[in-house]
Amino acid sequence: MLQCTGNRMSLFDNATAGLKIVEKAQTFIIRMVRKFSSSAFEMSIPAAFEHFTSAVSREILSNQKTWTGDKENEGVNFVLWHCLEELEHQAICHDAYKALHTSRLRLFFSLVLWVPLSMASIYSIQLYLLHKDRVIYKPRNWMPY
């Protein structure tokens, strides 16, 4: 609910106030990673995560009908374009990492560490926004699933 405090709080500020906690947690985690890890490990993070997003993208592109049915619209086109973009991200991050580092084990550990952390971060934000919009409390929104 929007609260008018007289402090000129904008609708956006009010809607995203809870996200500041998540943002602070993310900032703290990234600060600690940068403080205690090597530059090689830092570089493995995007390489590992883009590997994950490209795997999802490859699945969607390979089995497009399963994911989008027979639909053709701007939304589907945007998703397909984004999938291709994710493949490009993976190629760039992987090539850049491999140009400077050889350890595949580091990539593996980075993937094992960051994918669950990223999912927790992404889903907590999505759940918060669904809560703020009260969408999550309406059973009709869950019925198609």
What is the spatial distance between Cα 30 and Cα 23, in angstroms, rounded to a whole number?
A: 10
Q: Which stretch binds Fe ion (CB under 5 A): 45-53, 56-64, 92-100, 121-129?
A: 45-53
Q: What is the SS3 assignment for 37-100?
A: CCHHHHHHHHHHHHHHHHHHHHHHHHCHHHHHCCCCCHHHHHHHHHHHHHHHHHHHHHHHHHHH
Hey, what are 138's tokens? Answer: 């309406």
89 binds Fe ion (CB under 5 A): yes
CB closest to Fe ion, residue no: 89
- Contact between residue 29 and residue 94 where contact means Cβ atoms under 8 Å apart: no
51 binds Fe ion (CB under 5 A): no
Residue recorded with tokens 């592109």: 61
Q: What is the smallest separation between the CB atom of 132 and Fe ion, expressed in angstroms?
A: 26
Q: Which stretch binds Fe ion (CB under 5 A): 15-23, 82-90, 104-112, 137-145?
A: 82-90
Q: What is the smallest separation between the CB atom of 4 and Fe ion, expressed in angstroms?
A: 39
Compare residues 44 and 53 and give the one whose CB is closer to Fe ion.
53
Hey, what are 135's tokens? Answer: 């969408």
Q: Which stretch binds Fe ion (CB under 5 A): 32-40, 49-57, 58-66, 101-109?
A: 49-57
106 binds Fe ion (CB under 5 A): no
Residues that bind Fe ion (CB under 5 A): 53, 86, 89
